A and B are shown apart, each in its own frame.
Chain A
C-alpha cells in the first residue's frame, strides 16, 4: 500500500505493508533512526513523535494511518548549527546518559512546553510518566524541562 505524508516538513511517499508501524517506517524506510523502538507495545515512550502537533506513540500507529498527516521526529526538532534551547537545557542538567530514551523525552517535552509553557513540576512529571528512562532516575530530566520553559514562553523554541 502507498501512504503519503509529511515528515519534518518534507512530503514523502512510501510503499509499505499495512502492518508496518510508523516507527519502523521512519527508521527503516526513511532512515530517520532518531526515533527509537523500546517495547513495541505502547509503554516505554521511546518511539514518541509528533503527529499533527500531538505527541503520540509511533509504535502504535500504522504507517498507512499516517496518510495526510504532518509528522515531526526528533530530527525535525533539531538543527545542524547547535542545540535548541530544550536540548541545551537537557545537556546542562545531564538529563541523559545512554541516550536511548532521549528522543522520546525531547519530542514529548517539546509538545508539552508548546502547549503549556507555564507547566509546573508535577505536570511535567505527570506528562513524562509515559516515557521510561532507566539511566537518569528522571530528576535531572524534570529539571531540564522546567528550565526550558523560559524559551517557550516567549514563543521561541
Chain B
C-alpha cells in the first residue's frame, strides 16, 4: 500500500501555498495533519501530482476566543483543543465532540481544518460546525471568503472548496453562559466514526422553555444535517419527557439514512432518534 508518486512543497506563507494550488489546478492537494489524506493515498484512491504541506503556517495554529466567538485556526490539532481549558466554558459542545474523535495518536496530528476539508459524513466536527452555524473562512487567489457551514458541506467527501482555496479558520458563534447543550454518539468501538450522533443546544427563555434550538445529526446522510422540524418541536416548549419523545419521533421522520456493511438504514434512523433523545436529556439535566 505504497502511495503513488507526487511532488512535495512546504511553503513558508499562505500566499505561496495558494499560488502553488492555483498553478496546479485540481492536481495539487493540501497536506495538513495527514490523518485522512495519507490513508486515501495509501489505498491509491487519489493520485495528486503535488502535496502542499501547511506545517510552516504556524499562524493557522491558534485558538482565538473573543466576544465574537471561538475562532479555530485550520491547523489547530485535536490535542490543542483538548488541552485548552478556556473551551470548557467558551465552547463545551466542541470539547465534548472532540472527545470522540479517533484515537490518541491521531489526535496529536489531525487538524480541524483537515477534518472540515475531508467532510466525512460521520465525522464529529463537521456536525458541530453545522449545528452551531459556524463559518468556514477560506483563502484563495480571489481573496478570503466566509462560507456558512451548511453551504460548505455538499456531499460525502465533497465541499465548496475551490481547487486554489485553503481553509484558514473555523468561526464558531459566541457561546452564552447558561446555554444548554448535548452531544451523544454511538460508534462500534471507541474512536470509530459515528453510526449516528447528535450535537444540539438550546437557550431558555424566562419561563424556562427552549428557544433558539439548534439540532444537528451526524452519520445519517451524506453530510451533517440540521433538523428544523425537530427544532420546531422544541422551541417554546418545556424540555420534558413528553417533548423529548416528540423530538425523537420528529428526528426519525426527518431522515432517511442508507444501509451499509455496518448498519441498516432502519437501525440508523432509530439510532439517530435515540441520540437526539439522549442529548436532550443530557441538556435538560445540566445544572
- A residues sitting closer than 8 Å to B (CB atoms) are 1, 17-19, 21, 24, 40-42, 45, 48, 54-57, 59-62, 64-65, 67, 108, 111-112, 126-127, 129-130
The number of residues on chain B lying at the interface, defined by a beta carbon within 8 Å of a beta carbon of chain A, is 31
- B residues sitting closer than 8 Å to A (CB atoms) are 1-8, 10, 31, 34-35, 38-39, 41-43, 51, 53, 55, 79, 102-106, 108-109, 189-191
Q: B190 near A19 (CB under 8 angstroms)?
A: no
Which B residues are CB-close (under 8 A) to A111? 104
Kindly identify which residue among B3, B55, B191 contacts A130, using a CB–CB cutoff of 8 Å.
B191
Q: A41 near B43 (CB under 8 angstroms)?
A: yes
- Can you name the residue of chain A whose Cβ is closest to the Cβ of B34? A60
Majority secondary structure, B binding face: loop
Question: How far apart are the CA atoms of A111 and B103 in the complex, in Å?
Answer: 14
CB distance from A138 to the nearest CB of B (A): 12
Kindly identify which residue among B5, B53, B190 contacts A129, using a CB–CB cutoff of 8 Å.
B190
Chain A CB within 10 Å, residue with most, of B42, B43, B55: B42
Q: A41 near B39 (CB under 8 angstroms)?
A: yes
Q: B109 near A56 (CB under 8 angstroms)?
A: yes
Other contacts beyond A41-B42, A54-B108: 12, CB < 8 A:
A40-B1, A41-B43, A42-B35, A42-B38, A42-B39, A55-B105, A60-B39, A60-B109, A65-B34, A65-B53, A129-B190, A130-B102
Which A residues are CB-close (under 8 A) to B43? 41
Which B residues are CB-close (under 8 A) to A48? 105
